[in-house]
């Protein structure tokens, strides 16, 4: 699985689908059970954040989640169509939790990248 993409409408009901798909991908690439739990929580928070940003700004486009397994890294990139200069909808709580769960987090504009290094 070099890359897999999931696009969901910006609604809370679809966050669970994103979590389930991310967990299945994490298991497929061989992440540990501890990391799989972190993937579940981090993706739930990240996708919920993206959905909330889009709803707050009235953006109708899909939220996108791309999962990549390139060598030793498993990366999940969550992007939304909201204006990245807009205010955070959760006062930064979701990002703080994500940063506590994920070894490498990068936020550029409306694109959130989460990276785990797989054990050899």
CB-CB contact of 86 with 95 (8 Å):
no
What count of other Cβ atoms lies within 10 Å of the Cβ of residue 46?
A: 32
- 78 DSSP 8-state letter: E
- Which residue ranges of the chain lie beneath pLDDT 50? none
Q: Which CATH class is domain 3-117?
A: alpha beta
The whole-number pLDDT of residue 83 equals 79
- The pLDDT, as a whole number, for residue 116 is 94
pLDDT for the residue 84: 65
Bridge partners, residue 112, by sequence: 78, 107
Q: Are 75 and 67 in contact (CB under 8 A)?
A: yes
Domain boundaries of the chain, sorted by first residue:
3-117
- Backbone phi, then psi, for 75, in 5-degree steps? -120, 135
pTM (two decimals)? 0.91
Residue 20: per-residue pLDDT:
97
């Amino acid at each position: 699985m070099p890359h897999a993409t999931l696009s969901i409408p910006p609604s809370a009901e679809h966050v669970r689908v994103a979590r389930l798909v991310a967990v299945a991908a994490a298991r497929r690439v061989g992440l540990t059970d501890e990391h799989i739990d972190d993937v579940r929580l981090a993706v739930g928070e990240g996708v919920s954040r993206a959905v909330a940003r889009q709803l707050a700004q009235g953006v109708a486009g899909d939220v996108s989640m791309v999962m990549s397994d390139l060598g030793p890294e498993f990366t999940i990139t969550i992007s939304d169509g909201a204006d990245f200069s807009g205010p955070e909808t959760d006062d930064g709580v979701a990002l703080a939790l994500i940063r506590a769960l994920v070894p490498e987090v990068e936020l550029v504009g409306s694109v959130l990248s989460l990276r785990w290094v797989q054990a050899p």
